[in-house]
Chains A and B, each alone.
Chain A
């Protein structure tokens, strides 16, 4: 099967910076894929190369088999990009913006889909409003509509929920999930790792321009040793013997590392023996954020 997105040995150098260092990645059609990494890791550079906004210094990038440089028309027709920045054209209304965007992709009679996008993204009341008069959240919806106006099979969302309220976030994800369910491939970059954990079947983690992890999200979580034990004690002090396990203290709550569940009995017995009473207790599984933090801290370039 031809990958929805395929990059091979992708390298990008800017004066004084090596943004991507030979990245290899293949995303299958229909995947919901997360591209994670700290600021400056190269996520936006990679997306920019896929979208034709930047040119690779070396390597190849393809969208559904079409080279983003040589076959740029075919590649771009298959790609819808929601940019990170909240950009808009202040001269036009929402509907005009979508009509123009549709025309740029060579589509003349696209009004039915434009109407559907406007309805799906809750823009019906604002369809004839100038973009200047819209709130940030509404502008974000228009950006999503613009990216989807040519029904691209591959959708790239570059931090689409940055600064977006909960309601929009929920409705946006419901819509994107529906598109993914209908067969659209989704590539998502986000700093909200709980979003990536919930949505993405597979994730790649980038650090300083290199892929440092690439796996199914479930595998990454299953293989993680970062289970945590959260305790509220009375008196609210931790015996010295447990201090090496202490990960953090959040108010009255001590957060201890619990790599092996079998250790739980011994810990509780130790606390009782020291005269502490356990007021509250919770065992938390590892989350993507913890896995992310370990991977980012653990591997150097």
Chain B
């Protein structure tokens, strides 16, 4: 990449980071509070009734799932909302007119989405630390799943942001795809507690592997091996990244 192209990429990334940071109340604090409410309600109701793994409190079990759910939703929200807002207001021309390649465009939006996911995830963890003493059994796995899962949903956000023509389309994806995938992925429970058919179905949900692997990083316990989980999450993230890259390269709905 030439020096000028590098400056272009860094500027776009900087702009995307500033964009969400300027409204951090809504883009960081709100999701942290949202996760905190889940934590308070579910741990209050279930703490004394449920023990998923021996010797692990329900709150400690719940925390990694909530952190991952928040990261996924916010990584998706970052790239998708930035693109749809720019498309609807028309200011997308400011990034289409300059000599930015689809690679720089893709990398800037994706990295900004990952950063937002990680910032929100860190926020949820910090607040959660007030309620439970969460172990850090395998920090490498924590990082690997945090980044790959945020990348997957950041890329999905790029795809959705390019495809959507109005906010309703995006809300549809959030409500009918993202929310069910995350809620039915083992955030609040171990899939071993489910009937056999739901257990089988859960294995087709990539978010299940993201949460299970991420949880392994903290607790050293999981429903499937972290290698198995990562072998699902990484190709899933790469496939979505390839799809979003291809859309940007083709100019679909951006360069008519």
Contacts and interface: CB of A to CB of B under 8 A. Distances in A.
A146 B86 CA distance: 16
Contact of B99 (A54, A72, A87): A72
A106 B91 contact: no
A128 to B, nearest CB: 14
B96 A88 contact: no
A77 B2 CA distance: 14
Max chain B CB contacts within 10 Å: which of A73, A76, A85, A107? A73
Contact of B98 (A85, A91, A101, A108): A101
For chain A, give the interface size range.
20 to 34
A162 to B, nearest CB: 15
A103 B14 CA distance: 10
B96 to A, nearest CB: 6
The residue in A14, A88, A92, A104 that gathers the most chain B C-beta atoms within 10 A of its C-beta is A104
Given A91-B19, A91-B22, A104 B93 contact: no
A51 interface: yes
Contacts of B100: 104
A73 B22 contact: no
A53 interface: yes
A76 B227 CA distance: 46
Contacts of A232: none
Interface string A40-78: 000000001001111100000000000000001110110
B255 A52 contact: yes
Contacts of B5: 73, 106
Interface of A: 14, 48, 51-55, 72-74, 76-77, 79, 81, 83, 85, 87-92, 97, 100-108, 146, 150
Given A54-B255, A72-B99, A105-B8, A83 B3 contact: no
Given A52-B255, A53-B255, A105 B99 contact: yes
Interface string B7-20: 11011101100110
B18 A106 contact: no
B10 A103 contact: yes
A83 B95 CA distance: 13
Given A53-B256, A91-B22, 17 more contacts: A51-B96, A53-B97, A55-B256, A73-B5, A74-B99, A76-B98, A81-B93, A85-B90, A88-B91, A90-B89, A100-B14, A100-B94, A102-B11, A103-B7, A104-B94, A106-B2, A107-B4
Interface of B: 2-8, 10-12, 14-15, 18-19, 22-23, 86, 89-91, 93-101, 251, 255-256
A101 B97 CA distance: 10
Nearest to A72: B99
B91 to A, nearest CB: 5
A62 to B, nearest CB: 15
A214 to B, nearest CB: 26
Contacts of A72: 99
11 contacts: A48-B256, A53-B255, A73-B5, A77-B99, A87-B89, A89-B89, A103-B8, A104-B8, A104-B12, A104-B94, A106-B8
B78 to A, nearest CB: 13
Contacts of A107: 4, 7
A97 B19 CA distance: 12
A106 B97 contact: no
A92 B96 CA distance: 18
Most buried by A among B15, B22, B23, B89: B15
Which 8 residue pairs spanning A and B have beta carbons closest together? Answer: A103-B11, A106-B4, A104-B98, A87-B90, A73-B99, A76-B99, A106-B7, A89-B91
Contacts of B12: 103-104
Contacts of B256: 14, 48, 53-55
Given A48-B256, A89-B91, A103-B14, A53 B8 contact: no
